Amino acid sequence: MSSIRGGVEQSRERLIALVLLLQRAWQYGALSQDEIVRELKIDEFPVSAKGPKKIPAYEGNEGAVRQKFERDKARIRELGFEIETVAREDGGVGYRIDPSSGYAPLLYFTPDEERVVRLALRFCGFGASGAFSVFNEVPASDGGLESSMYYTPVMRALNLHRALAFDYQSGANKPRLVEPLLIDVFNGVSYLIARVKDGDEIKGYRFSRMTSMPVVLPDTFAPSGEAVDVAKAWRPEFSRSPTPIDVVVTTNENYADLLVRQYSGALAATKKDGKVEVGFSFESPRAALRFVVEGADRIRLQSPKSLKSDLADWLKGVNRGKAPSPEEMTFVGPSTNDVLGQTLQLLHAVYVSEDGLRISELARRFALDPEHVRFIMDRLVALEPMAGSTDGTESFPAHVLKECDDWDNEANDDSTYRADFSDLPEGAEEHSAFMWRDLFELNIALREASRVYSDPAILSAIEKIEDATSTYVQVEMTTNETLLKNVSEAVEEHQQIKILYTSATGDVATTRSIEPREIKVLNGHTYVRAYCTTRQSWRTFRVDRINAIVAKSAATESRPIDTVVNWLTQVGEAGDEVIVVIEAWLRWLFEPLPNAQWLTLNDGRHAVKFRVSNETFLDQLMLRAGEGAVVASPKFAKAGHELAKRIAAQL
């Protein structure tokens, strides 16, 4: 549970007051820094008298005030709000926030649509960083989507058909100027597909490689139908002139069966020696080589000869090269949840609840101490940032009312907070509860959930989101999960199922009896958390590695409580720590690793630190990386070497 800390809470109140104040300035006129510093008041904390004392939000000498004000503006921009700097009639400079820069159009869900939104966010979403707790009554665990504040300006630019400027890390960190066409989520990874401004080239930009908040430019453009069609066809292996290549491999019957189900269009034939020959068609030699490398020593490449030659060259570079010692590298830990973002989530939860929410309900949803919730929400109710101004307090509401069952014991009452928009100017719309990134998250979560759940409300909610945002989003997967609905049915009906399962590093299926409890999506793959009666413990299984369900029955026994809350990313919390140094173009392979930490080295390479509980996994990871990746941790300096030798011997 989060606790109340004086400095943090005073910063929280100053930030939320400044955000709401600058949004109000959009309607009433831009405010200068001098006006804000002079007029903006917040409650002193900790309270030193019987009641809260109003103090200036910005105190100190001119230099200190200016630095604090600039830091606050930067933190607000990090949430996707656009702070405009405008020239005032008095010749000075003023600041204001266009609410539509952060907030998407107003949207109302029906009760059925709210139900499926709650369901979808449990299945696939940002987790604690997203909208989960706004809709669900329990705290969020780890999410399966890549969380980024950058979705907000990108979604807005797509909606307005306006150009975008941002810095991007590819071979080097460089500024980019593009005309956005759509967002494509490919195997769980989000890409902005855009046309290079003043050019014809269509390129994909991975959100996790954007290194600055995208800026929505005033330049508008009209996307042609041809450009949109090319954007829809873009893939991470994209080339304007695809060079298809047919590949034939041999493997055992079990692994062949898995490959045929995972790759659409694959054909298999059993040979005289009992081996199974499997044929595939890929869009490019690079995609074919990636497939063969991922198969490792579980498959044997038969043709074409050109691919055999490419594979032989690839194997020579596995985990070869020089890297600095781990002691020379210092990694920065993950950033903590911003207090401004947390406060806005609490506010939005109240906005979308028709009957309001009690302190206990908000505390449970957001994993906060009830006293902390009371402290935050009471400030939103009583917020008067410029109470001494001629505009008065009524022109600056946070739109939150407090209701008590026992006003005489208000300090201990489980009070209800609800939204009230009765004081809006005539004709003004109610405040939207969703930022652009929230609607992106809901759209993707609903699309993923539609693979499992057949419900008309899912489709109507997606249609409502896309009508409101006017942005094009598509979700694609290359992996077939033919047994997903069967596993989902076992969860819903509380069944025990007997499965044939092939592990991440094996090529032979083993029999497991499991009782599935929860399904989630991570990095484009669906995972099921289940009690494994074969191993007598809670385990996580990847659905596309289930070869078959051979029996099912009702689960009747009680099982021990699963003590792992964030089971989806538990792989990143256990095992040995490993540091790998890679060329920038290899980031795509390591970025999906849960809880990975990154560092840019002086020579332009990147270092990534993560944990592995299975050395075979690291061997295969280094094999997939090939030349351009080297393990810096002495214990694993030879990772992948023996595996590469075994594969080379088969060529």
Is the model's pLDDT at 486 over the cut of 80?
Answer: yes
Q: What is the DSSP letter of 334?
A: P
Q: Which pLDDT score, from 0 to 100, does residue 264 have?
A: 81
Average pLDDT, the chain: 88
Beta bridge partners of 417: 357, 402
Give the tens place of pLDDT for each residue, 602-630.
888 999 999 888 888 899 999 999 999 99
Specify the amino acid at residue 107.
L
Q: Which pLDDT score, from 0 to 100, does residue 397 have?
A: 55
| Cis peptide leading into residue 385 (ω within 30°) | no
Residues 6+ apart with CB under 8 A from 456: none
Assess if residue 137 is contained within a domain: no
Give mean pLDDT, residues 80-103: 89
Assess if residue 16 is contained within a domain: yes
Q: Percent of the chain at pLDDT above 70?
A: 91
Give mean pLDDT, residues 451-459: 92
Assess if residue 389 is contained within a domain: no
> Which of 102, 120, 152 is the endpoint of a domain?
102
Give mean pLDDT, residues 105-116: 92
Domain that holds residue 78: 1-102
Q: What is the DSSP letter of 419?
A: E
For tokens 């780890």, name the residue: 142
Rounded Cα–Cα distance for residues 483 and 547 (Å): 9
> And the tokens for 144?
């399966």
Q: Which pLDDT score, from 0 to 100, does residue 384 have?
A: 58
Assess if residue 116 is contained within a domain: no
Q: Which pLDDT score, from 0 to 100, does residue 110 have?
A: 94
Q: Which of 260, 253, 248 is nearest to 292 (CA)?
A: 248
Rounded Cα–Cα distance for residues 219 and 178 (Å): 11
Q: Which pLDDT score, from 0 to 100, does residue 415 have?
A: 95
Give mean pLDDT, residues 52-76: 85
Neighbour-count burial for 562-594, b at 16+ CB within 10 Å, e otherwise: eeeebbbbbbbeeeeebbbbbbbebbebbbbbb
* Residue ranges in 163-269 assigned as alpha helix (H): 225-233, 253-262
3-state SS class at 23: helix
Judge contact between 227 and 202, C-beta under 8 A: yes
Q: Which pLDDT score, from 0 to 100, does residue 25 have?
A: 85
Assess if residue 38 is contained within a domain: yes
Q: Which of 248, 246, 308 is nearest to 278 (CA)?
A: 248
Rounded Cα–Cα distance for residues 285 and 171 (Å): 22
Burial of 271 (0-12, 13-18, 19+ CB in 10 A): exposed
Which segment of 106-115, 509-518, 540-549, 573-582 scores lowest on mean pLDDT?
Answer: 573-582
Q: Which pLDDT score, from 0 to 100, does residue 4 have?
A: 56
| Domain count across the chain | 2
Secondary structure (DSSP) of 218-240? EEE----HHHHHHHHH--TT--S
Q: What are phi and psi of 154, to 5 degrees?
A: -65, -45
Rounded Cα–Cα distance for residues 45 and 58 (Å): 14
> Which of 76, 102, 128 is the endpoint of a domain?
102
- Secondary structure string (H, E, C) spanning 267-280: EEEECCCCCEEEEE
Sheet with 276-282, side-by-side order of all strands = 267-270, 276-282, 245-251, 300-303
Confidence of residue 207 (pLDDT cuts 50, 70, 90): very high
Beta bridge partners of 496: 553
Which segment of 53-57, 316-320, 341-345 scores lowest on mean pLDDT?
Answer: 53-57
Length of the chain: 651
Is the model's pLDDT at 393 over the cut of 50?
Answer: no
Rounded Cα–Cα distance for residues 174 and 466 (Å): 32
Is the model's pLDDT at 239 over the cut of 70?
Answer: no
3-state SS class at 404: coil
> And the tokens for 472?
């094009």
Q: What is the DSSP letter of 364?
A: H
Q: Which pLDDT score, from 0 to 100, does residue 427 have?
A: 65
Give the tens place of pLDDT for each residue, 398-418.
688 899 999 999 989 999 999
Specify the amino acid at residue 212.
S
Is the model's pLDDT at 388 over the cut of 60?
Answer: no
Sheet with 357-358, side-by-side order of all strands = 357-358, 416-419, 400-403
Is the model's pLDDT at 242 over the cut of 80?
Answer: no
3-state SS class at 120: helix
Assess if residue 454 is contained within a domain: no
Q: Which pLDDT score, from 0 to 100, does residue 333 have?
A: 60
Is the model's pLDDT at 2 over the cut of 80?
Answer: no
Q: Which pLDDT score, from 0 to 100, does residue 582 have?
A: 95
Q: Which of 456, 449, 444, 461 is nearest to 488 (CA)?
A: 449
> Which of 102, 132, 160 is the endpoint of a domain?
102
Secondary structure (DSSP) of 36-91? HHHH-EEE-SS--SSS--EEESS-S-HHHHHHHHHHHHHHHHTTT--EEEEE-TTS
Judge contact between 525 and 568, C-beta under 8 A: no
Give mean pLDDT, residues 564-582: 81
Q: Which pLDDT score, from 0 to 100, does residue 504 have?
A: 82
Assess if residue 62 is contained within a domain: yes
For tokens 């080097």, name the residue: 172
Judge contact between 499 and 543, C-beta under 8 A: no
Judge contact between 117 and 134, C-beta under 8 A: no
Give mean pLDDT, residues 59-69: 87
Residues 6+ apart with CB under 8 A from 371: 4
- pTM assigned to the model: 0.84
3-state SS class at 27: helix
Q: Which pLDDT score, from 0 to 100, does residue 394 have?
A: 43
CA–CA distance from 349 to each of 63, 337, 463, 525 (Å)?
Answer: 38, 17, 22, 29
Give the tens place of pLDDT for each residue, 273-298.
889 999 999 988 988 999 999 999 99
Q: Which pLDDT score, from 0 to 100, does residue 163 have?
A: 96
CATH no. for residue 42? 1.10.10
Q: Which pLDDT score, from 0 to 100, does residue 16 have?
A: 86
Give the H or E element holding residue 628.
Answer: none
Q: Which residue has the higher pLDDT, 428 or 302?
A: 302
Burial of 551 (0-12, 13-18, 19+ CB in 10 A): exposed
CATH no. for residue 503? 2.30.30
Give mean pLDDT, residues 503-529: 90
Rounded Cα–Cα distance for residues 112 and 124 (Å): 18
Confidence of residue 143 (pLDDT cuts 50, 70, 90): confident
Q: Where are the beta strands (DSSP E) in 364-485?
A: 400-403, 416-419, 473-476
Q: How far is CA 233 from the centre of its chain?
A: 23
Assess if residue 132 is contained within a domain: no
Rounded Cα–Cα distance for residues 69 and 76 (Å): 11
